[in-house]
Chain A
Amino acid sequence: MKAPIGWLAEHADLPTDLDPRALADALIRVGLEVERVESGAEDISGPLVVGRVLSFEDEPQKNGKTIRWCSVDVGEDEPRGIVCGAANFAAGDLVVVSLPGAVLPGGFAISARKTYGHVSDGMICSVRELAIGDDHQGILVLPADSAKPGADALDVLGLREAVLDVAVTTDRGYALSIRGLAREAAAALGVAFRDVEAALPPADGAAYGVVIDDRSGCDRFSARALTGLDPAAPTPEWMARRLRQCGMRPISLAVDVTNYVMLETGQPLHAFDRTRLRGDLHARRARAGETVRTLDDVERALDPADMVVADDTGPVAIAGVMGGASTEIGPTTTEVVLEAARWNPPSIAYTARRHRLPSEASRRFERGVDPEIAGIALQRCVDLLAEHGSASPVAGYTVVGSPPAAEPIRLGAALPAATAGVDISRPQVVAALQVVGCAVSGDDPMLVTPPTWRPDLTHPADLVEEVLRLVGYETVPSVLPPLRPGTGLTPAQQLRRAVSRAVAAAGFTEVLSYPFVAPAVHDALGLPPDDPRYDALRLVNPLSEAEPELRTSLLPGLLAAVQRNLGRGNRDLALFESGLVFLRDPDAPPPPDLTVLRRPTEDEVAQLYAAVPPQPRRTAAVLCGARRVKTWQEAERPADWSDAVDFARVVARAAGAELTVRAAERAPWHPGRCAELVLGDRAIGYAGELHPRVVAALDLPERTCAVELDLDAFPAPQPARAPRISTYPPVLLDLALVVDEAVPAAAVLHAVRDAAGPLLESVRLFDVYQDVQRLGRGRKSLAFALRFRADDRTLTVEEATAARDAAVAAAGLATGAALRS
């Protein structure tokens, strides 16, 4: 809502020397978001004057355009010759001329310049060139006799006046009016406020026939009528100027008056051409299949939830949103019916959104309009049309419907102080409430009746806010609540932090990808048709129709991040992400239909929670390119399956757990290079190299590797048990075992470890070796470093060797391993 300060001053006793910025700050303090203080003159310098077009000649040009070579009186001895490209003016019209030396908004400097064969000695301006509107269809034509040639156009246009631009929150419909903003300004500055007033005729229902068919959509519909309007009567310049200052375009007197009064009172109004109406006006819902052509000349299909104003022929307006073309005020209209209704706010909000048609009217109706202002607003229109359009009021005043009156609210006198934590006396409370228009009676609790324009005030807390904002939020001191002991992070939260730090320390970089995925990504990942990962939750309204599903795995998002990085030349990648995936629970009940008037029962809460789909937390990583880049010391080592498995081991170590690994086949991994990650006896994830087909389908670098595991699967870490540290010296022995190449190293390792007995302190596989000549085809040698130690004595080599031999024998039995000779 834009508000020229002079207009506000008509309703609030603003100090004459008030700095506009100070007014803006005062409004901000009471809770109105003043986004800008504008003045149209800020960006204009140099001579900008009123001119009268004395005569012109149309001159067609080679480029197809026709220019006008004009003679313009700018109050000087001689008229000036000016070239103009517009054609929406006539000889004798008053226009705005920027003379050479002027600079218009955007740094547009005007000089006398040669164009189209003439020297143009200035420019005739459009509203867009003056930055007072968007209209560039033609130049700005001022109302006849509104100024003298040579007059300062900045004054005539009111461009020197400061205009506040206020963003109004959804609960404050009344602030979308000069009336409402002036009240706030008066309250903020502690000066007197004068409301819009008018003497009303008795409501006799005689202005025009009105029927409210749907009272849920419309609780009051008022109408007045006029006859004998001069359709050619111009809008007075002061009114056109204020409309422009408020960002509206002057159109015609009847339309301008309804807009002007809307800005003044907050009551949207609509003017019908009475001769084009057929029968009574009805406020009703649209019927299936009905359409209406709106003022913007678009034929709109109506929804049965839309409220409309209809006559016998059908809808003539989308109620509260936009009027219809068929009954529009036109250049010949002399008979006028004025509508001032009150529509149901959410109904208007839905309709405006459904038709993508936010309008000045809908913005106000969505936020709620004062039910008692309609009559005054209509009277203001009647008066203005009579004064400026020679119209005569038709006797009669139609008012249908009666909005419910506000209920008094019981307010404890101490509640504002107790809420703010600052002293606020009872008189302060009463004064603040009276300033916003409340009637206050009673002692403690007080009985507070909110004014008709404040439908948002329904509870004591609402009144507390009114008191506090007028007393001033800045009076609230800064006090920390008394300290109370906390319990810190939960074990699961600590575990997640530890994991995140550990994998980053291990060289992985975190990304946070969107959870939106394309169903086709599952095909690209080569999932079997019955894979549950296909069974994703779908969004009703995805941002992209291509990605309507919620991820069931972190890998699609990570792979997309890999591709994005590759596209930017980042080639050696180890990305990780931790986050929720979304699973469908076919047995989930629908959410119960709950009230907010009481706490839901435990059963209802349980049912509500059960309706929410399972969302386990995963952690995953993708690697490609070099895991270790080439350095002056070492050759490059490409990322491989083992890095993916190692990611899982780093995660597990950070979680205080140990994973076992076994070969598995699972999409999207390479069937021969996929590790199942097992915690206890449960598979909690997979790691390895991606299947070559997946790599090809997703256009990834060869041998891209991936890992994903369930982070929720790790139990809270328990305090570690301290080992007993023997101070006796160890015996170190190496051991090479030859096995069939299909035997997993882990099986050999386990056999060795189990059979070597308690003297074995540690065992580490340090070499894998294949050689057809020495070992035979299909055989491999695994070399282990064994470290033996006793708790209570210095171990002899013989004892250690005996233990190793036992391990060799056991490995032989378990895996067919033979000591390498």
Chain B
Amino acid sequence: MPQPNFDPVEVAALQPEAIEAEVTTALKAIAAAATLDELKTARLAHAGDRSPLALANREIGALPPAARKAAGQRVGAARGEVAAALTARQTELEAERDARVLLDESVDVTLPTDRNPVGARHPLTTLQERIGDIFIAMGYSVAEGPEVEAAWLNFDALNTPGDHPSRELTDTFWVESVDSGLVMRTQTSPVQIRVMLEQQPPIYVICPGKTFRTDELDATHTPVFHQVEGLVVDEGITMAHLKGTLDHMAEQLFGPGMRTRFRPHYFPFTEPSGEMDILCFVCRGRSVGNPDEPCRTCSNEGWIEWGGCGMVNPRVLAACGIDPERYSGFAFGMGIERSLMFRSGVADMRDIVEGDVRFTAAFGMES
């Protein structure tokens, strides 16, 4: 063993050139490692216990004391540099590996996922609910009644003359016998009568429901159809309130800017009475007097018939025990099928009633 105090030993491994060369070699090997395994090999070779820098480190003790510090700093810096390079490369390679694993795990996200059976609600149901909600929001209640109904409620109380042809077998389904006094209700109006018999004003009700008339099923008729009728009886109710209410309903149902128009008409239940038109939902009136923009939906009239309405006939109020001197009211009614045809462009009534799942499925959960 050389004498350190006076016999400076030439330790080749601690020469700055040698350390620098080793660092260069190590960094090159680390950079060249393409996988974590190759990096492991490089780590063993250049940072392991048997690596040149580790070996060099051991040689420091052999140096004269005066030389040890500088050599220690040199080797420490070199090892630090290699370790940092290893860590950086390690991080890099791990990220690459992780990315590759995720890539391997990728799936075709465009595959169909619709394994749960899909249902749908009938648009007549959801449209009735929607109309109900419009009126609920205005403080109304939804009133309902039986579908086989007393003729007195369906006709007499509504001011239909006892000999009126609408009571005939050609128009109305009679139940059990012609003198049973029972019919399939031809309108939802008997519900209004029930409400007026059961409560005093103020009355704010909306009555959606099934109605029945002896029409054969075709593209525009069905013997079983749905109506919604509204009834308000209160102090100071005017036709202006009727108009305001229907305009509001039209906007809510068919969109902003929709409005209604009244034309004088005759219904026994109301006096004065009116037919109610709604602005054509296709051309919104633009086709009127405008040959450049013809509208088949409204025949260039700008308006489409939607329902009937009027001020409750005072005789009807009296028959229900409501003082016509104190209270007035309005009533209106329209077909849900017709409204659905407007709203969703249904071309043929039979599609609505036949129960083909393809029709209903198109409407989903809400119409």
Contact = CB atoms under 8 A, between A and B. Distances in A.
Please say whether chains A and B are actual partners in one complex: yes
Nearest to B163: A346
Interface string B200-232: 001010000010001010000001100000001
Nearest to A346: B163
Contacts of A479: 238, 240-241, 243-244
B204 A486 contact: yes
A497 B126 CA distance: 9
B169 A501 contact: no
Q: Which of A478, A508, A573 counts the most chain B CB atoms within 10 A?
A: A478
B153 interface: yes
Interface string A482-505: 011111111001000100110111
Interface in B111-159: 111-112, 114-122, 124-125, 129, 132, 136, 138-142, 144, 146-153, 156-157, 159
A420 B163 CA distance: 31
Contact of A565 (B138, B180, B319, B356): B356
B14 interface: no
B343 interface: no
A598 B248 contact: no
Interface string B235-268: 0011111011101100000000001011111100
Given A171-B266, A485-B139, A608 B156 contact: no
Contacts of A561: 354-355
Contacts of B170: 353, 541
Interface in A624-668: 627-629, 631-634
Given A484-B204, A612-B148, A628-B117, A29 B353 contact: no
B150 A612 contact: yes
B263 A33 contact: yes
B315 A596 contact: yes
B112 A632 contact: yes
B320 interface: yes
Contacts of B161: 346
A393 to B, nearest CB: 38
Contacts of B349: none
B321 interface: yes
Given A30-B264, A540-B177, A570-B356, A505 B119 contact: yes
A493 B360 contact: no
A820 to B, nearest CB: 33
Chain B residues touching A, majority SS: mixed
Q: Which of B118, B153, B271 counts the most chain A CB atoms within 10 A?
A: B271
Contacts of A418: 238, 328
B169 A541 contact: yes
Nearest to A600: B197
Interface stretch (A273-281, A512-520, A747-755): A512-520
Nearest to A501: B365
Contacts of B136: 486, 488-489
Contacts, number: 286
B153 A510 contact: no
Interface in B158-190: 159, 161, 163-165, 168-170, 173-178, 180-182, 184
- Number of contact residues on B: which range applies? 35 or more
Contacts of A570: 356-358
Nearest to A460: B314
Contacts of A510: 119-122, 125, 360
A540 B266 contact: no
Given A478-B247, A570-B357, A634-B115, A487 B122 contact: no
Contact of A353 (B152, B168, B197, B266): B168
B159 A478 contact: no
Nearest to A347: B163
A366 B161 CA distance: 13
Interface in A570-596: 570, 572-576, 579-580, 582, 590-591, 594, 596
B187 to A, nearest CB: 16
B175 A538 contact: yes
A465 to B, nearest CB: 3
A512 B122 contact: yes
Contacts of B115: 628-629, 631, 633-634
Chain A residues touching B, majority SS: loop
Contacts of B287: none
A329 interface: no
A164 to B, nearest CB: 15
B273 interface: yes
Interface in A452-470: 456, 459-462, 464-465, 468-469
B313 interface: yes
Contacts of B241: 421, 479-481
A633 B107 CA distance: 13
Contact of A484 (B139, B150, B264, B321): B139
Nearest to B169: A541
Given A510-B360, A514-B224, A464 B272 contact: yes
Given A30-B264, A468-B264, A540 B169 contact: yes
B165 A511 contact: no
Given A464-B271, A541-B173, A612 B182 contact: yes
Interface string B51-92: 000000000000000000000000000000000000000000
Contacts of A537: 148, 175-176
A349 B163 contact: yes
B287 to A, nearest CB: 14
A503 B274 CA distance: 41
Q: Which of B115, B216, B320 counts the most chain A CB atoms within 10 A?
A: B115
Given A29-B263, A572-B117, 11 more contacts: A33-B265, A353-B170, A420-B239, A461-B314, A480-B248, A481-B241, A489-B142, A501-B365, A582-B148, A591-B151, A596-B319
Task: List the 10 shortest-distance A-B pairs measured between CB atoms, nearest first.
Answer: A31-B264, A421-B238, A507-B117, A599-B321, A421-B240, A465-B272, A511-B355, A346-B163, A486-B139, A591-B181
Interface of A: 28-31, 33, 169-172, 346-347, 349-350, 353, 366, 418-422, 456, 459-462, 464-465, 468-469, 473-474, 476-481, 483-490, 493, 497, 500-501, 503-515, 537-543, 550, 561, 564-565, 568, 570, 572-576, 579-580, 582, 590-591, 594, 596-600, 605, 608-609, 611-613, 615, 627-629, 631-634
15 contacts: A29-B263, A350-B168, A366-B165, A418-B328, A459-B315, A464-B272, A477-B240, A484-B202, A504-B119, A505-B119, A509-B361, A512-B122, A539-B173, A573-B357, A599-B197
